[in-house]
Structure 1
């Protein structure tokens, strides 16, 4: 009996130890990294985006590939398992597209945590939201929109296509809009807001219950979804 009690105690203690370790691993998750060659082949990212709150990977894919040439950063994406894609109704550039389903890119030149960065959103209807963000606290406090960039001035080439339960698209972002880094180093993150239920109201908006807030490099924002966490942006190297 003594051996049995000791074994039970060991299992409980060992299980608790594992739980603590796994929790610690989650909160210290490494930032994503990607290296591409200028004028080289496109590179495919990890398709299993992660929840912004805790870094847990989802069981459906968001396929993203990136490529660079002297004028543009090219991004191709495919948002799979989207049962409610036809319910997105925003069509005007620089409207608050983030209230419904979008694919997003945050990017800035340099390796340092980004206090100023470019934010681009595209929705299934091929509408764009483009702005530069001022985030001096690196997400500890609220960020502000620095400059809203008019669609005609941005020079972004873009397209989207809606299919049954999915949508996909392409973005070609001018380097002159991003700002080139002399050493080919950038901070970047990719995001997806995905509806997880049908909406009766035509003017529906996403919240933490009705939508998934997903990241390539999880922001590990805790209780509430949040994308503007520059310390958690991934690293992009262009050789």
Structure 2
């Protein structure tokens, strides 16, 4: 009996994967139908969880659209590259980001959306079969090349005196084959990158559900979202 107990314990240890341990600690949020909203916020760096400028995201949904309102506080530089346009590498500079997947699993594919202080956007579906962007695994992206025509919109306002910028974003639920939003479950994560002219290309990273290293593409860390 003693040997059996030891073997059972060892088996339980083997079967408890890192993803299982991560899942129990993930943030969860219920998102209401517009005009009501739910707000999430974060103020810690990735991955060491040191103080980070406060960042908030308000979420709500209607029959056809996910509405996001990003708010960046304590912004000193509003740093962007004015020569960049839609789907350029705006992530090299200051941006706010949403990673979105319809479903409850740790996703291999998901939408990456970004917006910068110049109201330039980046939107691509990511293929990440390792779920952690492993260096020896495939990793690819497929741009939404005409976001305005497809219904992805963003409006950004800066307040340099108050050191804030706000981006209001609409993302069509049809991109995720969702016809009836109420009751749907999602995996999402939200991030902010801060750069400055004097320190570029160094970046300061913050996020809602912080990964264990400075990589946003680790889907076991995506939080749980439910439309109610």
Instruction: Give the TM bin, normalised by the shorter chain.
Output: 0.7 to 0.9
Q: Is the counterpart of residue 51 in structure 1 residue 45 in structure 2?
A: yes
The answer to whether the 8 Å contact 1:131/1:147 transfers is yes
Q: State how far apart, in whole Å, the 1-side matches of 2:47 and 2:25 are.
A: 15
User: Counterpart in 1 of 2:210?
Assistant: 218
Deviation at 1:236, TM superposition (A): 0.4
Q: Counterpart in 2 of 1:238?
A: 227
Q: 1:131 to 1:59 in 2, by over 3 A?
A: closer
Stretches of structure 1 that go unaligned for 5 or more consecutive residues are: 1-26
Partner of 1:166: 164
In the other structure, the counterpart of 2:5 is: none
Cα distance in structure 1, aligned partners of 2:128 and 2:43: 24
Q: Distance in 1 between matches of 2:207 and 2:154?
A: 21
Match of 1:118 among 111, 116, 132: 111
CA separation in 2, counterparts of 1:37 and 1:169?
19
C-alpha change, 1:152 and 1:199, in structure 2 (3 Å) is same
TM-score normalized with structure 1 length: 0.76
Aligned to 1:146: 141
Q: Is the 8 A contact 2:81 2:90 kept in 1?
A: no
Distance in 2 of aligned mates of 1:41 and 1:145: 36
Pairwise CA distance, 1:90: 4.6
Q: CA RMSD in A?
A: 2.2
Specify the alignment match of 2:78 in structure 1: 85
Tell me which residue corresponds to 2:151: 155
Query: What SS does structure 2 have at the residue aligned with 1:176?
Result: helix
Instruction: Give the TM-score taking structure 2 as reference length.
Output: 0.79
Paired residues of 2:211 and 2:221 also in contact (CA < 8 A): yes
- 2:59 corresponds in structure 1 to 66
**Contact (CA 8 Å) 1:88, 1:124: kept in 2 or not?**
no
Task: Tell me the alpha carbon deviations over residues 80-137 of structure 1, each in whole angstroms, 9 at most, x when there is no partner.
Answer: 1111115543541011000101010100111000110000111111111110001111
Deviation at 1:58, TM superposition (A): 2.4
With over 3 angstroms needed to count, the CA separation of the structure-2 counterparts of 1:40 and 1:169, relative to structure 1, is closer
Distance 1:90 1:49 in 2: 30
In structure 2, what is the equivalent of residue 188 of structure 1?
188
Distance 2:224 2:46 in 1: 17
Contact 2:53/2:75 (<8 A) preserved: no
Q: Which SS does the other structure have where 1:161 is aligned?
A: strand
Alignment counterpart, residue 27 of structure 2, candidates 4, 21, 32: 32
Q: Distance in 2 between matches of 1:97 and 1:57?
A: 24
Instruction: Indicate the residue corresponding to 2:198 in structure 1.
Output: 199
Aligned residue for 1:177, secondary structure, equals helix
Q: Which structure 2 residue ranges, 5 or more long, are not aligned?
A: 1-20
